[in-house]
Chain A
Amino acid sequence: MTQINAVDTGHEELIHDAQLDYYGIRLASCSSDKSIKIFDVSNNQQRLIADLKGHEGPVWQLSWSHPTFGSLLASCSYDRKVLIWKETTSSGLPPQSNTAGGTQYSVIYEYDKHTSSVNTVAWAPYEYGLMLACGSSDGSISILSSTGDGRWTVKKINDCHPPGVNALSWAPAVLPQSSDESGVQGITGEPVKRFVSAGCDCLIRIWKFREQDDGWIEETHLDQHNDWVRDVAWAPTFSFHRDKIASCSQDGHVYVFTRDIRSSTNWECTQIGTHFNDVWSVSWSLTGDILAVAAADKVSLWKVGLDGKYQCLTTPHTSASSAGSPSVSSAVDSTAGETGNIPLMAT
């Protein structure tokens, strides 16, 4: 792996999350220094267009909404709040982003009903409307949905993961299909709203919205991990029958859970690689076929082979000669290059 671009964010502390918007035009980063910065990263260059200050504590995670809703940015912070930011326009006219001073963002909604640090925030697929889920260290998950007139309704699921929620991820909105006995598949009804959450109780829980009682229920939970589950990611999928979830935990394991509801309602667990040191994050590619895993010492990409096993696309970490990648820090480019990994530790 080679570094092709680096963004100098100017944050004063650790950055906890960085998210590109739907079209990959804007990059938002959030940091312990309580600020959120938004960059224009089109044309392979970066330009700071906004510096949002509104949180009172470290900002942990960000999420861009689907552009249908006008690119809202949700942020969650240690200060127990979730803020929803919107690009400000005056009297319906476009913001003058070319002029000095940058784009203005303002908070259109503030949610502060959690009693502890809010660790994760994620917009639902746009098919469900403007809907947001956030998980907190108080163990609960809130689902906010916009009524369309500036008000928001909140559904809170208490005690999802009693010691704290670390991550959550929405299932893609795919219309359910039924298979009758003739094998003819048809679309039946609305997509089922589902998301997966991971927490400090070492569990991964899958939540489903049940229309008849207008509430969220736990569909199932997965208990393969035996330490805090750090991150969870529902893979993009185009088929209703196949679900795929990747998770990583402090125990050093990364699992992919798959389910084919035609054959079984159980999730099958596949381990990715062997053991990772301090694995932090997992992410699926847009088409859901490649899984990126970030561990303390390297980032690796995994792709499922024809045999159903995951193969590492990146080669094991070796000490290699330096490559001519654009330098961000000597620690990075001293070992970046042909190794195929992103080395994270100075050697």
Chain B
Amino acid sequence: MNSDAIIDFFSGISGAAVSVYVGQPLDTIKTKLQTFPNRYKNFFDCGKQIFQQDGMRGLYAGTLPSLLANTAENGILFMAYGQCQNFIAFLRNRPDNDQLTTVDNMAAGSLAAAFSSVALCPTELVKCRIQTLKEMQTMNSLSMESQMTKKVSPIDITRDIIRKEGFRGLFRGLTTTLARECPGYGCFFGGYELSRSILIHENQKKGDIGFIKTWISGGMAGICFWLIMFPIDAIKSRIQVFKPTVTFPKYTLQIIRNEALYTGLLPTLIRTFVATGALFITYEHPVISSYSVLGGASILALNCTDNLLITAGHQNFQLFSIKQIDHSTQVSMLCDFRATQQQPALPRHALQPKDVSWNRRYEHKFATTNSTIGCLYIWDATRLSVTDQLPVHNGIINRIQFHPTNPDLLLTASQDGYGKLIDLRIDNTERVAKSFRHSSAEAFRDIDINPSATDKFAAVISDQHSVPIWDFRLHHQPVYSVSTRDRVSYILWNPHEPSWLATGGIGSHDRTIRIWDTDGNDSRQEPLFTVHAFRQIVKFSWRPACRYHIASVTRFRDQRIHVWDIRRPYLPQALFCHHQSDVEDFLWRPNSDNMLSIDRNGSLVHAHFSSAIKSDRLLSLFSLNATSKGSVQIVQPNIDNDYVRALYKEQHISAASTSLTKLYSHETMSTFNKWNKAIEGRSILGIYTNFSQDDSVELFHQFARRWILGQGEKSYKALGHICDTNSIVAEDLNRPDLRATWQVIKMLYPECEASRKRRARSSKTSRSLTKGFRSSDSTGGGGRHHHHHHQLTKKSIGIDEQLSLDEYKLNNNFNSERRVKSKEQRTLSDSKLTVIDDLDTYIVRDILTDDILFISPEDLLANGNSVDEFQDESCDIETMRTGFPLPITPSATPTIDGDYANYSIDRIMRKSPDIVMIDDEDLKNDEEYEDIDSDMLTSTHSLLPDSSGTFFTIDESYCPTVQKYSLNFDQIIRDTLYYYVENNELQMTVHLLLALYPQLSEQKRVELFNGMHLQWIVMYIELLQKMRLFVKAKQIIKHCIEVEGIPLHYNAADYEDTIILPTQPPSLPRLPSFASPPTPLPKKNAQPVLREFVCSICRIPCHGLFSFCGICFHGGHIEHIEAWFKTHDECSFGCGHRCRDHRSQN
């Protein structure tokens, strides 16, 4: 099997798949009508019934086997057909498949069908069974019960057939299939070839007849097929469905006697016409084919009948034949002129053509010029030899062209300053009929005879800024002159528009193709269209299929052929990219949309336009950026222009259904024929904002400005103040979730501490022993924090019991007192008040609106290690507060198990609890806390909305256990910060971090964040700078360095007592070295990297004296900065900060 056969096979398969999907419903109807001619009234009735009963599924019954049947059949059929054609051609002694007669093709078709029948028969059998399954069921419903009812899959049916009828059962009806297929396909291919030969024009090749005609031919072929073969098919269908016991001829007679055999013909014909046409369309059009020819060709020329091709150039002169063998274009070499001995012998330069032109009437006649002397050669392609040598010019002939209509006329353009019209009928050596000479006497570089007005031609004269147009009848001077203002190298008339002349510029700066209207009544002489190509144009050619399209290649390094719509000056419509090296020449094949092109390496490509890449696929019409100001910056095509309006009007495009792409797409533009102006492709660049819906950037600014940082004090009062202020801000800005977080932080630290102090005080006042207890507690804090009972074991039991009892009583009194206060508070705050007075309940400080976690001691005991956890962790806070070094705990595992931690975080983050913990009543008594008390009072009251629902007061003094064992907040803090980081609320993270920073010991920070916090701060600073919040960024940096001593990546001491910050936003800090890391860290990251201060003007690191802006921290060498600010107000770094304003203010 050769490659042709494989191509045939796959074309057949793809064709078949298309035809099945198009024709399957009609086929179903056909089969039903054939097998049950009396059940359905007619074609439409049948279709309607099927659709009503089974819907689309019914109509597409048996698609799978049908697909299989058709693909297998057609694959084999078309493969066999090609081979059979060859076989028949061989038998009949024809040199070429193209020359087979209709009868020959019929024979080839019949032969091919015999092969395909074998593949077709079993699949067809299954298909028929499926399609008529329903009818069979109703027919046999009484006798066959449910045997067949559920079996609808093709595999089931196949299995059923093999089981019941044996393997041979699959080939039931093979004889009939053969009887149908062989003559049928004979008619089929015969009809196809016949109708094609009827439809084609004179001189046209069968391959070029186009889409519609191919379809019609295919459809006709199908009709021929079915008209003749329908009765046989009907019999075949019956045999396959009813499984008759009588022989084929007998059964046939029986059917003929009883019924009409043409029932169901109409759907078949419709189906055939549609589907077979489609089959041939896919069969006919592989789009690209590539051939390798001798390299060095720079000219392609095609003869008038489109079947002979010359490639020529300095090292190449070959003749090819182009054949359309049904489905593909075949190019085969007929002659290599340089390799064959010429009669008469020719000089070498005659075989190095500079230009080639075919006669437009005699398909074997062509002329060539050579690159050294002004001699013209007339060739005969049948004899492959020169028939005439004409020494017409004294210089090199640059271009020759046969007259489009008169076969005896030939126009030449020569370096010697003459253009000459040669009449081959004149009987002298030169045969010059007329000579043309430009007034400047410069050389003729190019000529083109107007194909529509054949007595006019345009010429390119060297170094002239105009293109003269001559009339053959008035050879003394040009009839018209196009003033191009630039030198021109190449010209071409539009084949559709008689007055349109395209000119290509010369010189490295002129990369345009201009289209001029030479009607002459335009005195302004502006080009109609200008195409801005990418490089200097060397050749262009109008696309035969569209008068606005022109294909071009450019000089040097261009492997692509661009097809421009001249109405769009900048964007090519399509590009052929089939070459691997520079394209030398190309041409459109007449009457088709195929292009032939040749590259430097001798690769000849025949490609259909559909294989070109349409640039509207590449193009991005849209650009979108979210800006730092929270707006969206959009670039979009401006469709409010004349072209689009005209398009809507002409094409009746509804605005709603048209996409932007489509407006400027290849399809729309090539079909929109009433627009003789350049098409504007302007875009709108706009910045849009959506303040009402999305205020995240505004919020970012607000938070950055309003959230406070504190002064680095370690006191809880200060933290409480920060929390309150920040939560009020969050409330103000409608972020209750953030407010809640700040409140929780406040509860975790300052209030916890407050209650601790209060407890300490109350125990102090009540009983001196408590003090001793506490002091022992604190002193023991260096080690493990012990459980209450452990402590007690150290003391005598008697005292211990006494103590506990007293404490209990005292607590009870205290509690009752508080209960009263709480009631007062309820009336005051107009809120629901819940007093928790269960003594034996731990309150886990997961403070929520509607529920509070109560963990009873029993619960804790039940999960034995939970108690330990609390014990373990409590020491952290203790040591942190008392400033003791962190004890080396045996286990560094997280103390609150994952689920619980997640739960609490979840609650804290996602709800917006209205609860605020207030201990103010109690605190009033405390002198130490007087001012924080009032502070908190105002703040908390302002935090409470009047209508707030639930209001809890929680006092852990009710729970003696809590007093002793403070809970572990670290996990919560860490999880909170990480939660915000991971949800892109970096701002919240950093502010929380900075607020809590004084509270966290160095060890704690390392343990919790391990350096991540530095990265966060830096990223936050960067964000602030990006948002142009320079002052805020400075404030944060200053705060970090001066107040908190956070080691950002530079050392302030290096710049003595000035604050120098990086000229660029701080780069990633390296992890600072820790004195005693709890877990070993990779040492290589422990080196802080110092970046030099880089001058923002010369970008050279500054040493010695330099100057910088105190706000945006950008600056550089003093002399540069001073020079800069003489002419500028803004930062030299480009950050946009107006440093000079700031300077003058200070």
Chain B contributes a number of interface residues (CB within 8 A of A) equal to 110
User: Please, how many angstroms separate the alpha-carbon atoms of A331 and B663 in the complex?
Assistant: 15
Q: Give A18 to B700 CA distance when docked, in angstroms.
A: 25
The 10 closest A-B CB pairs, nearest first, are A280-B622, A15-B683, A331-B640, A281-B624, A294-B624, A329-B640, A186-B1010, A92-B1098, A25-B1136, A68-B1064
Contact partner, B984, options A32, A56, A236, A342, Cβ 8 Å: A236
Chain B residues contacting A274 (CB-CB under 8 Å) are: none
Which residue from A126, A174, A290, A336 sits with its C-beta under 8 Å from B1015?
A174
Q: Within 8 Å of chain B (Cβ to Cβ): is A104?
A: no
B108 to chain A, nearest CB (A): 39
Beyond A33-B570, A287-B984, is A78–B1009 a contact (Cβ under 8 Å)? Answer: no
Q: Any chain B CB within 8 A of the CB of A4?
A: yes
CB of B863 closer than 8 Å to a CB of A: no
Produce 1/0 per residue, A247-275, CB < 8 A to B. 00000000000000000000000000000
Given contacts A42-B1136, A283-B626, A332-B684, could you give 19 more A-B pairs where the C-beta distance is less than 8 Å? A1-B632, A7-B685, A14-B681, A14-B682, A17-B623, A23-B1134, A33-B532, A93-B1097, A94-B1120, A97-B1128, A117-B618, A119-B620, A177-B1012, A185-B1009, A189-B1084, A230-B620, A241-B982, A282-B624, A284-B626
Contact of B656 among A119, A177, A236, A347 (CB under 8 A): A347
Q: Which residues of chain B are near A230, meaning CB under 8 Å?
A: 620
Q: Which residues 603-628 of B have a CB within 8 angstroms of A?
A: 617-628
Question: How far is B985's CA from A303's CA once the two chains are assembled, in angstroms?
Answer: 13
Partner of A58, one of B571, B629, B664: B571
Cβ-defined contact, A281 with B620, below 8 A: yes
In this assembly, does B630 line the interface, its C-beta being within 8 Å of a C-beta of chain A? yes
Complex Cα spacing A240 to B981, Å: 10
Task: Provide the residues of chain B in CB contact with A189, threshold 8 Å.
Answer: 1082, 1084-1085
In the assembled complex, B91 has its CB within 8 A of some CB on chain A: no
Report if B1099 contacts A (CB, 8 A). Answer: yes
Residue-wise, chain A 1-44 has the 8 Å CB interface mask toward B (1 for contact) of: 11111110101111111111111111101011110000000100
A100 interface hit (Cβ, 8 Å): no
User: Is B258 engaged at the interface, CB distance under 8 Å to the other chain?
Assistant: no
Check if A106 is an interface residue, CB within 8 A of chain B: no
Query: What CA separation (Å) do A330 and B577 show in the bound complex?
Result: 40
Stretch at the interface among B439-447, B691-699, B923-931: B691-699
Also in contact, A299 and B1127, with CB within 8 A (given A1-B689, A4-B689, A287-B1023) = no
- B626 with A290: CB separation less than 8 A: yes
A16 x B635 contact (CB < 8 A): yes
Q: List 15 A-B contacts (CB under 8 A).
A: A18-B625, A23-B1134, A25-B1135, A27-B633, A58-B619, A94-B1127, A94-B1128, A164-B618, A182-B1079, A184-B1078, A185-B1010, A187-B1085, A278-B660, A285-B626, A313-B694
From residue 176 to 200 of chain A, which have CB atoms closer than 8 A to chain B? 177, 180-189, 191
Residue with the highest number of chain A CB atoms closer than 10 Å, among B618, B635, B1027: B635
Q: Contact between A187 and B1012 (Cβ–Cβ < 8 Å)?
A: yes
Name B1135's contact: one of A20, A23, A34, A301 (CB within 8 Å): A23
CB contacts (< 8 Å) of B1124 on chain A: these are 94
The binding surface of chain B is classed by DSSP as loop
B631 at the interface (CB under 8 A from A): yes
Report if A96 contacts B (CB, 8 A): yes
Is the pair A299, B632 in contact by a Cβ cutoff of 8 Å?
Answer: yes
B697-A285 in contact (CB<8A) = yes
Q: What distance in Å separates the Cβ of B470 from its nearest Cβ neighbour in chain A?
A: 35
Assuming the A-B contacts A4-B631, A25-B1135, are A191 and B1068 also in contact, with contact meaning beta carbons closer than 8 angstroms in the complex?
yes
Q: A87-117: contact bitstring with B at CB < 8 Å (1 yes, 0 no)?
A: 0010011101111000000000000000111
Closest to A26 in B: B1134
Taking the nearest CB of chain A, how far is it from the CB of B484, in angstroms? 21
The answer to whether A345 and B658 touch across the interface, beta carbons within 8 angstroms, is yes
Contacts of B989 in A (CB 8 A): 238
Which of B659, B892, B894, B986 lies in contact with A296, CB distance below 8 A? B659
> Number of A interface residues, CB 8 Å?
121
Is B688 interfacial (CB-CB < 8 Å)? yes
Q: What is the bound-complex CA distance between A292 and B622, given in angstroms?
A: 13
Contact B1136 A24 (CB under 8 A): yes
Known: A14-B681, A238-B1019, A301-B690. Is A331-B635 also a contact (CB below 8 A)?
no
Interface string of A34-61 (1 = CB under 8 A from B): 1000000010000000000000111011
Q: Which of B577, B628, B635, B1097 is the one whose CB lies under 8 Å from A18?
A: B635
CB pair B688 A287 closer than 8 Å: no
Contacts of B627 in A (CB 8 A): 20, 24
> Using Cβ atoms and an 8 Å threshold, which residues of chain A touch B1068?
127, 173, 175, 191
Q: Give the contacting residue for A89; candidates B636, B692, B1012, B1097; CB below 8 A.
A: B1097
B982 surroundings in chain A (CB, below 8 A): 238-239, 241-242
Q: State whether A175 and B632 are in contact (beta carbons under 8 Å apart), knowing that A7-B686, A189-B1085 are contacts in the complex.
A: no
Q: Is the CB of B1079 within 8 A of A186?
A: yes
Q: Does B634 contact A (CB under 8 A)?
A: yes
CB pair B1079–A314 under 8 Å, yes or no, is no
List B699-755 residues whose CB lies under 8 Å from chain A.
Answer: 700
- Indicate whether B1026 reaches chain A with its CB closer than 8 angstroms: yes
Instruction: Flag if B569 contacts A17 (CB, 8 Å).
Output: no
Bound complex: CA A183 to CA B897 (Å): 11
Q: Does B1016 contact A (CB under 8 A)?
A: yes
| Chain A residues, Cβ within 8 Å of B570 | 12-13, 31-34, 58
- Docked pose: A283 CA to B623 CA in angstroms: 9
The verdict on B521 contacting chain A, using a C-beta distance below 8 Å, is: no
Q: How far is the CA of A313 from the CA of B637 in the complex (A)?
A: 24
Shortest Cβ gap from B878 to chain A (Å)? 21
Query: Given A16, A18, A89, A242, which contacts B633 in the complex, CB threshold below 8 Å?
Result: A18
A238 and B984 contact, Cβ closer than 8 Å, known pairs A4-B631, A181-B893, A184-B1010: yes
Instruction: Report if A139 contacts B (CB, 8 A).
Output: no
Tell me the complex Cα distance, A22–B696, Å. 19
Distance, CA A174 to CA B621, complexed state (A): 33
- Minimum C-beta distance from B1026 to chain A (A): 6
Q: Which of A25, A181, A281 contacts B1134 (CB 8 A)?
A: A25
Q: Report A286-326 CB contacts with B as 1/0, cut-off 8 Å.
A: 11111011101101010100100000011100000000000
Contact of A237 with B by CB under 8 A: yes
> Is A283's CB under 8 angstroms from B1097's CB?
no
CA distance A284 to B1016 in the complex (A): 19
Measured between beta carbons, the chain A residues less than 8 angstroms from B893 are 181-183
| Contact in complex: A301, B1010 (CB < 8 Å) | no
Interface residue ranges of A132-151 to B (CB < 8 Å): 137
Which of A26, A238, A289 has the most C-beta atoms of chain B within 10 angstroms of its own C-beta? A238
Give CA–CA (A331, B658) in the complex, Å: 14
Q: Contact: A277 with B659, CB < 8 Å? A: yes
The answer to whether B688 and A23 have CB atoms under 8 Å apart is no
Expressed in whole angstroms, the minimum distance between the Cβ of A187 and any Cβ of chain B is 5
Provide the residues of chain A in CB contact with B593, threshold 8 Å. Answer: none
Q: Is the CB of A1 within 8 A of B688?
A: yes
User: Does B1132 sit at the interface, judged by CB under 8 A?
Assistant: yes
B665 to chain A, nearest CB (A): 11
Is B643 interfacial (CB-CB < 8 Å)? no
A67 within 8 A of partner (CB): yes
Q: In the complex, A331 Cα to B684 Cα: how many Å?
A: 11
Asked if A303 and B694 sit within 8 Å, CB to CB, the answer is yes
- CB proximity of B1135 to chain A, nearest CB, Å: 5
From the candidates B629, B660, B1011, name the one contacting A187 in the complex (CB within 8 A): B1011
Pairwise interchain contact A287-B683, C-beta atoms closer than 8 A = no
Contact A330 B640 (CB under 8 A): yes
Indicate if B813 sits at the interface (CB-CB under 8 A): no
Q: Which of B24-46 contact A (CB under 8 A)?
A: none
* A297 contact set on B, CB distance < 8 A: 659
Q: Write the nearest CB–CB distance from A69 to chain B, whole angstroms.
A: 8
CB <8 Å contact, A290 and B694: yes
A218 at interface, CB cutoff 8 A: no
**A154 in contact (CB, < 8 A):** no
Closest chain A CB from B690 CB (angstroms): 4
A15 touches B640 (CB 8 A): no
